[in-house]
Amino acid sequence: MNKKGFTVIEALVSVAILAVVFLLSSPLVKGLGMVSGRVQMQKKVDHEFAVVTKFLKSRVRSAKDNRDLSGYNDKLGYVGVFKKFKEKDVDDEEYDSKPYYEAKDFFKELETDEKKSGPILFLEIPVDSTSESLNSKFVFFMFEKDKIKYRESKEFTEADESDDTFTFDGDGWETLMNNVEDCSFQYREGIVTFLIDMDVGDYEGKIKDRVRDTVVSRIDINSL
């Protein structure tokens, strides 16, 4: 009479085979999971880079030389890179919460270095400028601690050039990117070069976590 089902020995052999297959396939399954994690992290990092660099480039391309800003800072043009604020701590709660800043005092706190590089990028961007009126905004990108921050002034008009009471707006800094390991700007002959290096934790060295790019600022509109 034929017996149905597995014998004890056959069952043990089947379990042993399954165990061996599982052990052999575990590294492959784990590897696939790690690859999937790297792919997802790379997509996230690439998306953040794309958004921030697109915005940064659009602002740099909008920067033009509207006026002589030497009265505010002898090294301040329509594009400038600075290494730090001399005295004021821009992350200081009391300073950051003040409703207004005196523009001349604010700009005098900026410090440059010989290489014209640093974590602070300044831009002057025209706003509704015409042949009769030259209005603009003062714009800053700044790397501080682990963040890239952004802020801009209220509109600066021709009348403000001789007005010592012109104030920087009090909306504070807007964070554009978190988890930034390093960020620097450099400005030479109308070209802004920037480097952004993100902190990706355990994925360090396993994915592309930095971007280096250049963007050309616009020509002096006064020469047209």
Tens of pLDDT, residue by residue over 18-77, are 666 666 656 655 555 566 778 888 899 999 999 999 999 999 998 887 777 777 777 778
214 confidence band (pLDDT: 50, 70, 90):
very high
Would you say residue 25 lies in a domain?
A: no
Would you say residue 69 lies in a domain?
A: yes
pLDDT tens-digit readout, 165-213:
666 654 567 899 999 999 999 988 888 999 999 998 888 888 888 999 9
Would you say residue 84 lies in a domain?
A: yes
Segment 147-157 mean pLDDT: 82
Would you say residue 106 lies in a domain?
A: yes
Q: Which residue has the tokens 């396939």?
A: 25
Domain total in the chain: 1
Would you say residue 26 lies in a domain?
A: no
Residue 88: pLDDT over 80: no
Would you say residue 4 lies in a domain?
A: no
Length of the chain: 224
User: In which domain, by residue range, is 68 found?
Assistant: 42-223
Tell me if 19 sits within 8 A of 12, measured CB to CB: no
Would you say residue 12 lies in a domain?
A: no
Would you say residue 205 lies in a domain?
A: yes
pTM of the predicted protein model: 0.72
